[in-house]
Copies of this chain bind each other. A is one copy, B any other.
Amino acid sequence: MNDQDHLKPLLESLRESAVERDHAGGHAAREKALLREHGLLNLSIPREFGGEELPWPQIYRIVRRVAGVDSALGHVLAFHHLQIATVLIYGNPAQKRRWLGDTVRHGYWWGNAMNPLDTRLVASEGAGGFRLNGAKGFCSGTTGSYFMTLSALHQDSGKVMLGVVPTVQDGIRILDDWDPIGQRQTDSNSVEFTDVPLPEDSILRAHYAEQTAFHTLRTCFAQLVLVNLYVGIASGALDEARRYALSQARPWVHAGAASVADDPLVVQRFAEMHVQVAAATALADRAGDLLEKAYVRGPELDAQTRGEVAVAIAEAKVLAHRAGLYASQELFEVVGARGAKAALGFDRFWRNVRTHTLHDPLDYKLQVLGKWALLGETPSPTLYN
C-alpha cells in the first residue's frame, strides 16, 4: 500500500459506476468488495495484528482519493477506520488482538451505531454483561459489516458506554431508511436492537470510566474524516471539470477563443477552484500531521495539545466545507450548459458535499475558532470538537 498508484485502477472503476450508483442509492456490495480486495481495510491496523499500520495522514489521503471519485464509498471506508481507531483508543490489549486480528484474517468491514445525538439505545445490566434495547439512527457502514461499535446509555446511571457487537445476529435489525439527496450509498440507516447481549469483554468504555485527553482524540479522528471527505469531493469536482473542459467543452460563442483553455475568464475560474482546493488540502494535511503526533503520544497526551489538534482540524474543516461547496457548484460554470445533462451526474459532487457538510453546523466550528483567536481558548472536548 505504499504506492498509491496501485489505487488508480480501483479509482477508475469506482468512478465509472459512480453516477449510476448515486442514482440507485442502496448498498454498494460489489464496490465494498473491491475496496477489501485492494487491501484498504487494513490500512490502520497495527502490524502486530497483520495490518499495514500506515500513518494516519497517509490513510486520510487515501480516503480523500476515494472520495474524489465516490464520496459515499470514501465515507464508508473512512468510517471503517474510524471504528478501528476507536478500538485502538479505547480497547484493552485482548480486545485489540481479537477484533483487529479477526478483521485482517477475514477481511471484515466495521460499522457503527455511535450517533451521539440519538439517545434511544439503552444498556441494562444482566448476566455476564449488558442487554441492549432501543435504536440508533445514521449508522453509516453498518449494512454489510461484521462488527459494529456502539454507544448506549447505561440504564441506571444514564451515562454513556461504548462497546462492540457482531452486526449479524438475532436482535439486530438494520432498517432501510436512508434516502438522502447525496451520499446515497453510505448505508446510514437506522438500526434496532432487541435484547442484544453486550458481554463484559466487549465493553470498550464503561459508563463509570474517566475520559482522558487521549480518549477524546476519537472526536478528532471523526472530524478529520469529514474534512478529508470534503476535500476529496472538492478535488474530484475539479478533476471532472478539467477532464470535461479539455475533452468536451466548447468555448463560448462570443469568447473569441480557440478552446476553453484559451479563454482567460475560464482559466481564472479554474484558478479560483484550484486555490480553494490547494488551501483546504494543505490545512487538512497539516491537521493530519498534528493528529498523528498527538495520537502516538498515547495516554500521556495532555489536554492543551489535544485542544490544539482540535483547533487545527476546525480550521481545516472550515476551508474544506467551503472548498467543497464552491468547487462542486463552480464546476458547472466551467463546463457550460451541456454539463447539466443528467447522464453526466455532475450534480452529485454538490449533493454529496451539501449532505455531508450538514453533519454539524459550520457556525459552531467558527465559534470555536473565534474563541481561540480572541481568547486563546481551545474547545472543550465534545462529540463535535
Tell me if B361 and A181 are in contact (CB < 8 A).
no
In the complex, which residues of chain B have a beta carbon less than 8 angstroms from the beta carbon of A1?
none
Tell me if A332 and B354 are in contact (CB < 8 A).
yes
Tell me if B282 and A180 are in contact (CB < 8 A).
no
Which one, A49-57, A88-96, A263-271, is touching chain B?
Answer: A263-271
Which one, A61-69, A214-222, A337-345, is touching chain B?
Answer: A337-345
Closest to A368 in B: B271
The interface bits of chain A over 268-288 (1 if a CB of B lies within 8 angstroms of the residue's CB, else 0) are 111111110011001100100
Which one, A37-45, A123-131, A195-203, A245-253, is touching chain B?
Answer: A245-253
A379 CB to nearest B CB, Å: 10
Closest to A254 in B: B364
Tell me if A253 and B117 are in contact (CB < 8 A).
yes
Which one, A149-157, A162-170, A370-378, is touching chain B?
Answer: A370-378
Tell me if B374 and A261 are in contact (CB < 8 A).
yes
In the complex, which residues of chain B have a beta carbon less than 8 angstroms from the beta carbon of A375?
246, 261
In the complex, which residues of chain B have a beta carbon less than 8 angstroms from the beta carbon of A180?
340-342
Residue from B179, B268, B282 in contact with A265 in the complex, judged by beta carbons closer than 8 Å: B268
User: Roughly how many angstroms separate A367 CA and B268 CA in the complex, as a whole number?
Assistant: 6
Q: How large is the interface on A (under 10, 10 to 19, 20 to 34, 35 or more residues)?
A: 35 or more
User: Roughly how many angstroms separate A278 CA and B325 CA in the complex, as a whole number?
Assistant: 20
A150 CB to nearest B CB, Å: 20
Tell me if A359 and B373 are in contact (CB < 8 A).
no
Tell me if A270 and B370 are in contact (CB < 8 A).
yes
Residue from B117, B179, B367 in contact with A267 in the complex, judged by beta carbons closer than 8 Å: B367
In the complex, which residues of chain B have a beta carbon less than 8 angstroms from the beta carbon of A347?
181-182, 351, 354
Residue from B264, B265, B275, B360 in contact with A315 in the complex, judged by beta carbons closer than 8 Å: B275
Closest to A138 in B: B337
In the complex, which residues of chain B have a beta carbon less than 8 angstroms from the beta carbon of A278?
283, 315
A257 CB to nearest B CB, Å: 10
User: Roughly how many angstroms separate A193 CA and B377 CA in the complex, as a whole number?
Assistant: 46
User: Roughly how many angstroms separate A246 CA and B261 CA in the complex, as a whole number?
Assistant: 29
Is residue A258 within 8 Å, beta carbon to beta carbon, of the partner chain? no
User: Roughly how many angstroms separate A34 CA and B369 CA in the complex, as a whole number?
Assistant: 35
Closest to A326 in B: B329
The interface bits of chain A over 169-195 (1 if a CB of B lies within 8 angstroms of the residue's CB, else 0) are 000000000011110000000000000
Residue from B181, B238, B364, B373 in contact with A346 in the complex, judged by beta carbons closer than 8 Å: B181
Tell me if A370 and B182 are in contact (CB < 8 A).
no
Is residue A358 within 8 Å, beta carbon to beta carbon, of the partner chain? yes
Is residue A24 within 8 Å, beta carbon to beta carbon, of the partner chain? no
Is residue A33 within 8 Å, beta carbon to beta carbon, of the partner chain? no
Tell me if B337 and A359 are in contact (CB < 8 A).
yes
Given contacts A264-B367, A274-B373, contact A179 B283 (CB under 8 A): no
13 chain-A/chain-B pairs, Cβ below 8 angstroms: A117-B253, A180-B342, A246-B374, A265-B361, A267-B367, A268-B268, A269-B370, A271-B368, A274-B372, A282-B282, A325-B329, A332-B357, A333-B362
- Sorted nearest first, the 5 A-B pairs with minimum C-beta distance are A271-B370, A267-B370, A274-B373, A271-B366, A271-B369
